[in-house]
């Protein structure tokens, strides 16, 4: 099997597995315990938190360990909105966000009477100008992803941060697809909350972070006093160690990884020469994701044929009970009647993929689509 669905999850690398095994066998103590085992675990916890903070060029006290991107998104949006609704009940996000953002917004609308403005792409792109027009005096939070998980499109984070600089609204960024792949300085970008998930950059599943400035927000979990009383629950030391190792590895090779991924994408598209296809994206994208469509080809059938041929990709949309739902991202970009919704597939790369693998995928697509 050739795995090219890295936007969904990435494989663990040997160094990450080794770091996890070390915690499982040696540092199994509870970091809240005061005896030697606990102190040793707490020391490792502080070291790992510092690694995350250094990547974001921030203070380690700004980092909250969570169970992943979904919890981080829920905590930032739900926690802040509910704690600060006296300031206003208007929220802004985009139509192309991950469902962990969209469904959280819908929950606040339906259960607590918040009003949410969903920004629509203009010529395929979310613009800072559309955000500026939607901003109101009673807007208290703006949530926008750093890079889209289906198309790789980069959103105007720096521009939005500048617009919100003199506004009461806080800025939440879902950086799940970008974290570990590009340099991110939330303080320079004007970001108040930032979400990330380890399994998108070769870390384990079930662990992530929420970066936060010193803001008041409601806790979603109540119990102990972990994470400076902001997130109850014994820290997932195994996952955190794996995440910190994966981030350290990614940082050490960030420029080389970007160059390698760009070569994979360029090779893949060039090898498709002769086929009729289109790419769903703007001109500002991360090379890690290619959303591509073939006129007249059903993406569900194509995905199955590729799977049977040994290639793991996706449509970039939710699969439930054997059926493929149309992509809400492509629907927002091109309209609900666009043929692209039934024709497009997502190929996503990681640094462990090779030129040979993407060449083989291109050849298989030419074989299938050509017939």
Every domain of the chain and the residues it spans: 2-9+254-370, 14-251
The set of catalytic residues is 319
> Residue 298, Cα to own-chain centre: how many angstroms?
27
* Per-residue pLDDT tens over the stretch 308-343: 999 999 987 655 445 568 899 999 999 999 999 999
Region 122-128: mean pLDDT is 94
* Per-residue pLDDT tens over the stretch 91-105: 999 999 999 999 999
Best CA proximity match to 244, nearest among 17, 48, 40: 48
For residue 266, give both structure tokens: 């360029």
Q: How confident is the model at residue 136 (pLDDT cuts 50, 70, 90)?
A: very high
The listed CATH number (3.40.50.2300, 1.10.3080.10, 2.30.140.10, 3.90.1150.10) that belongs to domain 2-9+254-370: 3.90.1150.10
pTM comes to 0.95
Phi, psi at 325, each rounded to 5°: -80, 145
Q: Give the domain 14-251 fold.
A: 3.40.640
Phi, psi at 315, each rounded to 5°: -90, -10
Whether 5 and 314 have beta carbons less than 8 Å apart is answered as: yes
The proportion of the chain whose per-residue pLDDT surpasses 70, expressed as a percent, equals 98
């Amino acid at each position: 099997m050739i795995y090219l669905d890295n936007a969904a999850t990435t494989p663990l690398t040997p160094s990450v597995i080794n770091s996890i095994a070390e915690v499982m066998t040696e540092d199994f103590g509870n970091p809240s315990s005061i005896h030697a085992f606990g102190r040793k675990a707490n020391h490792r916890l502080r070291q790992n938190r510092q690694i995350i903070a250094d990547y974001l060029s921030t203070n380690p006290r700004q980092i909250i360990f969570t169970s992943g991107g979904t919890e981080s998104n829920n905590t930032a949006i739900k926690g802040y909105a509910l704690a600060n609704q006296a300031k206003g009940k208007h929220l802004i996000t985009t139509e192309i966000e991950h469902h962990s953002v969209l469904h959280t917004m819908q929950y606040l609308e339906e259960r607590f009477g918040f009003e949410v403005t969903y920004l629509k792409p203009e010529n395929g792109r979310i613009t800072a100008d559309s955000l500026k027009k939607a901003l109101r005096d009673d807007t208290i939070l703006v949530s926008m992803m750093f890079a889209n998980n289906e198309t790789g499109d980069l959103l105007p984070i720096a521009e939005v941060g500048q617009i919100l600089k003199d506004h009461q609204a806080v800025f939440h960024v879902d950086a799940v697809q970008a974290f570990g792949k590009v340099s991110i300085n939330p303080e320079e970008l004007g970001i108040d909350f930032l979400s990330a998930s380890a399994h998108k950059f070769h870390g384990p599943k079930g662990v992530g972070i929420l970066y936060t400035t010193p803001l008041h927000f409601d806790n979603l979990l109540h119990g102990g006093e972990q994470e400076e009383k902001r997130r109850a629950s014994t820290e997932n030391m195994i996952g955190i160690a794996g995440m910190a190792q994966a981030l350290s590895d990614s940082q050490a090779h960030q420029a080389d990884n970007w160059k390698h991924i760009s070569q994979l994408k360029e090779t893949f598209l060039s090898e498709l020469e002769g086929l009729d296809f289109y790419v769903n994206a703007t001109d500002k994208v991360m090379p890690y994701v290619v959303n591509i469509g073939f006129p007249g080809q059903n993406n569900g059938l194509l995905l199955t044929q590729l799977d049977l041929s040994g290639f793991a990709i996706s449509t970039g949309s939710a699969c439930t009970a054997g059926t493929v739902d149309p992509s809400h991202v492509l629907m927002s970009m091109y309209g609900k009647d666009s043929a692209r919704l039934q024709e497009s597939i997502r190929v996503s790369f990681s640094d462990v993929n090779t030129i040979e693998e993407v060449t083989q995928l291109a050849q298989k697509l030419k074989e299938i689509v050509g017939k």
